[in-house]
A and B are shown apart, each in its own frame.
Chain A
Amino acid sequence: MTTEREPGSPVSMRDRMLELQPNIEGKGGVAEVGGPLSPIRAYLSQRGSGRVGDKTFAVVVLVCACSIFAIVLFILTILVFRSRLSLLQFGWRFFTRQAWNPVSGNFGALPFIYGTLATSLLALVIAVPLALGVAIFLTELCPRVLRAPISFLTELLAAIPSVVYGLWGIFVLVPLIRDVVGPFLVKTFGWTGLFVGPNFGVGILTASIILSIMILPIISSLTRDIMQAVPNSQREGVLALGATKWEMIRIGVLRNSRIGIVGAVMLGLGRALGETMAVTMVIGNQPAIAKSLFAPGYTLASVIANEFSEATGDLYLSALIEIGLALFLVTIVVNAIARLMVWAVTRGAPARVG
């Protein structure tokens, strides 16, 4: 056992290891005869280093990480592949044509683009001021005791499934819009020309209201996070100049977080563009472009949900898939821009006084 000694390794330690691991003895002994291999080294080499395990592990997690790329690429290629008929037949004009006639094989996406944009933008108009109000209340005004419960409740709104919003929309919101809100809007804002025509309760307005409720928690919770990221010294600085609380919020907080807030709004927009079930259930599903907000409409997502399973004919199917492709690309661009904006703010970029 004492034929050779590792420099710096005390004997007692090695002996103890051997005592603890009696099975080393045999192999160690063999090694000792042939060469200058210490029992510890023999033990370690017999036990194996983590090299193989580490390599495998690194490769496995790398593959899983890259699978996220693969998913996005796979969605893109499969959608392009399946929509090739319609892509070849209509080209770019697909997005400017108003016709949607499955019988004659005449397809254009303009009514759906209009419906999607109208509902999403109107939803933003309703949701953004409310979300900002909630975020300001939660970060700046709310008593500490209420902060957690209220933010929990607003986030519960995000946990309600789309289909439940749709169900509630059909049986509660639609009658409400038809009998109460609609007549009121006609009386007050009838001169704008946005509230003309028969009001059945289903239509762009109802869809926008449902959408605004659904995107509110996303915008408000992100805005809250962004506003909390504004350093307190900014607030103190503005307050020290004699500002009121609102002036402090406006100058110290909102101005510093505006890029992030725009990003949060765009994330909400991305969600609104792709929202399917609730909108399908209350928008009325008619491929028409009407100026009135009471008129029924159709969105990119809801036409897929409604007509995909009954689409007969390859051209019809590929036109619907092309709509899906357009939706995919648009939401990716919107989300990418939004993410970059939110990242720019929350990633410890120094706050600027603008």
Chain B
Amino acid sequence: MNIQPKPARFNAARRAATNYFVSGLSILATLVVLAPLAAILFYLIYKGASSLNLAFFTQVPAPVGETGGGMANSIIGSGIILLLASLMGVPIGIAAGVYLAEFGRSSLLGNAVRFTADVLNGVPSIVMGIAVYSLVVVEQKHFSALAGGIALAIMMVPTITRTTEEMLATVPLAVREAALGLGVPKWRTTLSVSLRTASPGIITGCMLAFARVAGETAPLLFTAFGNQFWSFKLNEPIAALPLQIYVYAISPYDEWHRLAWAGSLVLIVLIMVSVTLVRIYASRGVLKGGS
């Protein structure tokens, strides 16, 4: 736009029209973007809710050709894998975030870690799957819940690290100095003052990482593998909700499609409830934030 004082170029009517046109386009874009969301949620509720019943939450999948059956083992299996992943991923992620915020704020190593974490965040989940397969499953010679947990834990670490760092950076220096001035050692200051102050934001980060990996299928394909029956052992193949949805969705049976919709509804409700709870919690917490 070259704004010139020549009247011929200074066409107010056309400029106003362009302005309205572009505003309209951007509103249209927003509506177009929200349409798939509405469509997906509508179909999930429309197709999924009718298939939800008590059996869905209490029974294992029925053999082909039989009606009924549920996804109880998948729900529990997902829970076990996610618990394993959180147990491994959350402490490492928070500790790495503490390093970035408290020790390596502007050091070369700190920047390198920060950059690597961001890059790791963008690595496709299927690559995590085959990497963990190559390391854990090939060595163990069988698929296992543990391998699935490791794959998901690796995916959680970068998100948690970066959120923890950002949240710790918002804790005022004076708070740390107050603790140090009382003679509290640095590790104690970090653990019970800095981390405590930043905890709402850090919990938000952990929950967002959790919600993100909860729906992941690709890294579990060759690690947890799936299971049609109950399994609680960590070194055996285990069922997971997203895996089971995938298997049912690409199957040719209507009965299984029905279960896939129901499973998706359950999965998405679980994820959305956790994300929404986190939003509410974070907006009421000491520090607002979270990415």
Contact = CB atoms under 8 A, between A and B. Distances in A.
Interface residues of A, number: 93
B116 interface: yes
Category for how many chain B residues contact A: 35 or more
B246 A163 contact: yes
Contacts of A81: 134
A171 B122 contact: no
A72 B33 contact: no
B130 A304 contact: yes
Interface string B215-255: 11110011001000000000000000010011001100000
Interface stretch (B50-58, B66-74, B90-98, B169-177): B90-98
B80 interface: no
A58 B96 contact: no
A78 B92 contact: no
B44 interface: yes
A79 B133 CA distance: 10
A200 interface: no
A339 B118 contact: yes
A124 interface: no
Nearest to B225: A309
Contacts of B242: 161, 163, 277
Most buried by B among A64, A165, A170, A271: A64
Contact of A64 (B29, B44, B99): B99
A71 B154 contact: yes
Nearest to A138: B30
For the residues of A in contact with B, the DSSP-based class is helix
Interface string B107-129: 00110110111111111111111
A324 B161 CA distance: 25
A305 B126 contact: yes
B186 A57 contact: yes
B167 interface: no
Given A58-B103, A68-B157, A241 B92 contact: no
Contact of B119 (A251, A309, A335): A335
A129 interface: yes
A10 interface: no
Nearest to A62: B99
B255 to A, nearest CB: 14
Contact of A65 (B30, B104, B128): B104
B120 A68 contact: yes
A49 interface: yes
Contacts of A88: none
B113 to A, nearest CB: 5
A274 B118 contact: no
Q: List the 5 closest A-B pairs by CB distance, nearest first.
A: A50-B185, A161-B215, A274-B124, A133-B29, A57-B187
Interface of B: 1, 3, 15-16, 18-19, 22-23, 25-30, 32-34, 36-37, 39-40, 43-44, 47, 91-93, 95-96, 98-100, 102-104, 109-110, 112-113, 115-131, 133-135, 138, 154, 157-158, 161, 184-188, 190, 211-212, 214-218, 221-222, 225, 242, 245-246, 249-250, 257, 260-261, 264, 267-268, 271-272, 275, 279
13 contacts: A61-B99, A65-B96, A75-B131, A130-B32, A157-B36, A159-B275, A162-B216, A164-B44, A166-B249, A213-B36, A243-B3, A270-B122, A277-B242
Given A78-B135, A309-B225, 9 more contacts: A57-B190, A68-B116, A79-B130, A129-B29, A159-B211, A162-B216, A167-B261, A168-B40, A336-B119
